[in-house]
Amino acid sequence: DEDARLLLAAANDDFVEEDEVIPPVVAILGRPNVGKSSLVNRILGRREAVVEDVPGVTRDRVTYQAEWAGREFTIVDTGGWEHDAKGIHARVAEQAEIAADLADVVVFVVDAAVGPTATDEGVVKLLRRIKKPVFLIANKIDDFNQEPEAAALWSLGMGKPYPVSAIHGRGVADFLDDLMEKLPEHSAYGGMIPSGGPRRVALIGRPNVGKSSLLNKLAGSERVVVDNLAGTTRDPVDELIELGGRVWRFVDTAGIRRRQHMSQGADYYASLRTQAALEKAEVAVILLAVDERLSEQDIRILNTAIEAGRAIVLAFNKWDLMDEDRRRYLEREIEQDLAHVEWAPRVNISAKTGWHKDRLVPALDTALESWDKRISTGKLNAFLGELVAANPHPVRGGKQPRILFATQVSARPPRFVLFTTGFLDPGYRRFITRRLRETFGFEGTPIEVSMRVRE
């Protein structure tokens, strides 16, 4: 069983470094109200209420892990923006841009009951330029009698329209079967991330914290590498930048470089980019701007990176605007709002002047070293033995759970499993986690400690 396998692996200390495979990415696009969300829910096999493209509705999730016929893929739902009649063309263009950057296959949803609109035709023009496989979904074909309406969409010149009823599920299986045939083994966007090669960095943060300024500063002053390095498959949205004598891969920089049209939906696209970048990155540089208060959005972005299990560096930008008042404020904010990430290295920088930009590399190194770290089973259990002897688990109802054994089951980020004879108090588990950090370092990486209870 799983426990036995873990124990055996731990005993032999034979952890295999596996290349990380990024599942292929399917982008769903189409006008508001054509049924994109219904289709996504249908593919995910969810029964929960469908969220339609209602103005004012912002969804916090934009990518979903899906599975069909035993294959995994990522769905990017580009439809979460608010819209007004005037803005539709711009919004749809933005969707197509995202799809062009991120997707391996595009699914274009049209409301067959309405028929193709001028906006739909605009999308078709954009999709021609993207040159990626496109599936044309004729949605809202709820029964056989409506099939001619689907057939009418041949006129778009996007090949075969798939007659589908996202609400009832009709035609979805056939479409998915064909989709699987066009789906590459893994994402061409991230491809298979090799264990070696340049380290992959994501610059993330809310709009206007200075991501593009920092990227420009880093890329501008240092040599930008263009040659064919091992493990650097060409990817139009990444940039290779030499810093501190080594090459780093800054992932998903297209969205940073491109000036965001700061309009409705911009937040949505920003979070979509953040998720895409985190998926590819090993380490995230979270930018925070010191001339403003820390916002909920800052913290949300930071937490997304932690939850994604990435190494973390906090960069306090716009330090040139720092003054005494602000400094006192910031100290308090760090204490209060960033307490859960006190383990992350912090650098104070100015993307504008370039001040302290050389501090970034040592911080990245520290975080990545922790992220990669493996503690041998011997050392880990010696540490735990002493810790538990000195600080035994409290007795609860006459029982005292014992820790039999612990092992690090993976790195990047480090994950530990404790084999126990009963459930450990959350407080005790936090205590162990804290001591793990104190003893072994782990500066700059989230770590996970879980339990397996033996009966």
| Binding-site residues | 30-37, 77-81, 139-142, 205-212, 252-256, 317-320
CA 367 – CA 361 distance, rounded (Å): 10
- Shortest reach from residue 259's CB to ligand GDP, in Å: 8
* Closer Cβ to ligand GDP, 201 or 209, answer by number: 209
CA 110 – CA 116 distance, rounded (Å): 7
* Closer Cβ to ligand GDP, 221 or 391, answer by number: 221
Indicate the length of the chain as a whole number. 455
- Kindly state the tokens that stand for 92: 């749809």
- Shortest reach from residue 269's CB to ligand GDP, in Å: 12
* Closer Cβ to ligand GDP, 196 or 207, answer by number: 207
| Binding-site residues for GTP | 30-37, 77-81, 139-142, 205-212, 252-256, 317-320
CA 188 – CA 257 distance, rounded (Å): 21
CB 141 within 8 A of CB 171: yes
DSSP secondary structure letter of residue 399: B
- Shortest reach from residue 277's CB to ligand GDP, in Å: 12
* Closer Cβ to ligand GDP, 258 or 434, answer by number: 258
CB 165 within 8 A of CB 142: yes
Share in percent of the chain as helix, strand, coil (round to 5): 40, 20, 40
Nearest to 252 by CA among 148, 31, 444, 98: 98
* Closer Cβ to ligand GDP, 187 or 350, answer by number: 350
* Closer Cβ to ligand GDP, 26 or 277, answer by number: 277
Nearest to 221 by CA among 202, 238, 198, 244: 244
Burial of 209 (0-12, 13-18, 19+ CB in 10 A): buried
* Closer Cβ to ligand GDP, 273 or 393, answer by number: 273
- Shortest reach from residue 436's CB to ligand GDP, in Å: 34
CA 433 – CA 331 distance, rounded (Å): 25
DSSP secondary structure letter of residue 142: -
Q: Which residue is nearest to ligand GDP (CB)?
A: 210
The contact set with ligand GDP (CB under 6 A) reads 205, 207-213, 256, 317-318, 320-321, 350-352
- Shortest reach from residue 321's CB to ligand GDP, in Å: 5
Nearest to 312 by CA among 255, 366, 356: 366
- Shortest reach from residue 361's CB to ligand GDP, in Å: 18
- Shortest reach from residue 350's CB to ligand GDP, in Å: 4
* Closer Cβ to ligand GDP, 352 or 373, answer by number: 352
Give the end-to-end CA distance of the chain in Å, rounded to a whole number.
Answer: 15
Nearest to 290 by CA among 342, 236, 346: 346
- Kindly state the tokens that stand for 175: 């479409």
- Shortest reach from residue 285's CB to ligand GDP, in Å: 11
CA torsion 166→171→173→174, rounded to 10°? -140
